[in-house]
Amino acid sequence: MSLMDISKIFSLLQPREEDEEECERCEALNQAVGGDDAALLSRLLSQESYRRCINLSSGWGIPLTPLRAAASRGHLRCLEVLLQHGAEVRNRPAPCHYLVDSLDVKAQTPLFTAVSGKHPDCVAALLKAGADPNGSPYNNCTPVLTAAREGDADVLRQLLLHGAEVDVKPRVPEWASSNATACRGPLYISAVYGHLDCFKLLLLHGANPDFNCTDEKMLGRIKQPKTVAEMCLRYGCGVEYVQLLVDFGADMYLPTLIVDKTTKQNEALVLLLKERVYPKTLMSQTRIAIRRHLPFADKEPVIERLDIPQILRKYLNHVILNT
């Protein structure tokens, strides 16, 4: 994190000088949002004096813009009214014409607060308006990490379909990234919290099954990075987690294992040891190779267009086949 980044964060904390009438208009907008009164909000914003306040923060504690307030409370109708009246919309070069990613004093975007509050409709509206699915570079947590931790598969799917990153990227200073927790991404989190549907969803969208990180420089700064498989074994995740890692091509020779007579045997450990002895089937290796060759995060629609039998398309998409 550079000095410029730190200055950016501290600039968010500086109070803004406002006249009394402007403060009253800001408060009126936030009260309309707080009451989920979209009709009143629309009437207020039909006046130029209120439209000038649409992106201003107000309130005690953490000052909120009306858009952030609507996103955090899940008030979809108010959020849509605000977007229609130009809330936090600024000109950007093509193809991104809208910016709905203004930061609060916690360096959180409205999208982040909608994800944290589990408001899928608001998440969808903000993503449609051009919100960055990766959140703010000034915040070490991301919308994807939050959805993976909470086990919110529907929200996670929306974020991934809009291009959210599934692997860990450096967001902390180099001096802090030597800590192993710096590269524990959404795949780790979904496993530790026991959210199998999110775990599979991340793998389907290309998450690295070994370290959930492809940044070699970042991994090189960590003394003993732990693989996802190791974390699954450590936290007692079910055998289905390790099976998914096997199916998506994780290197089963990477995890450091010390197995002796006192080691507690479980299905996940037995499966991992078995994979070290028996080679993958040709079909399994072919599926891994084809999926890695496809340069798309959302591979399912691409696979569905392949001129191959439906049963093979389902196999490539990891759809369980009825036998």
Q: What is the pLDDT along the chain (323 residues), one digit of tens a residue?
A: 454 455 555 554 444 445 677 888 888 898 899 899 999 999 998 998 888 888 887 766 667 889 999 999 999 999 999 998 876 554 344 333 345 888 887 888 999 999 999 999 999 999 999 999 999 888 888 999 999 999 999 999 999 999 999 987 656 555 554 455 555 789 999 999 999 999 999 999 999 999 888 777 766 676 777 899 999 998 889 999 999 999 999 999 988 776 655 555 688 999 999 999 998 999 999 999 999 998 777 888 899 999 999 999 999 999 987 65
Residues in the chain: 323
DSSP 8-state class, residue 321:
P
Question: What is the distance between the alpha carbons of residues 100 and 115, in angstroms, rounded to a whole number?
Answer: 14
CA nearest to 188, candidates 148, 147, 146: 148
Q: Are 244 and 198 in contact (CB under 8 A)?
A: no
Burial class (CB in 10 A: 0-12, 13-18, 19+), 27: middle
Phi-psi region of 4 (alpha: psi -120 to 50; beta: other; left: phi over 0): alpha
Q: Which residue shows structure tokens 């998440």?
A: 123
Q: Token pair of 244, please? A: 């998914």
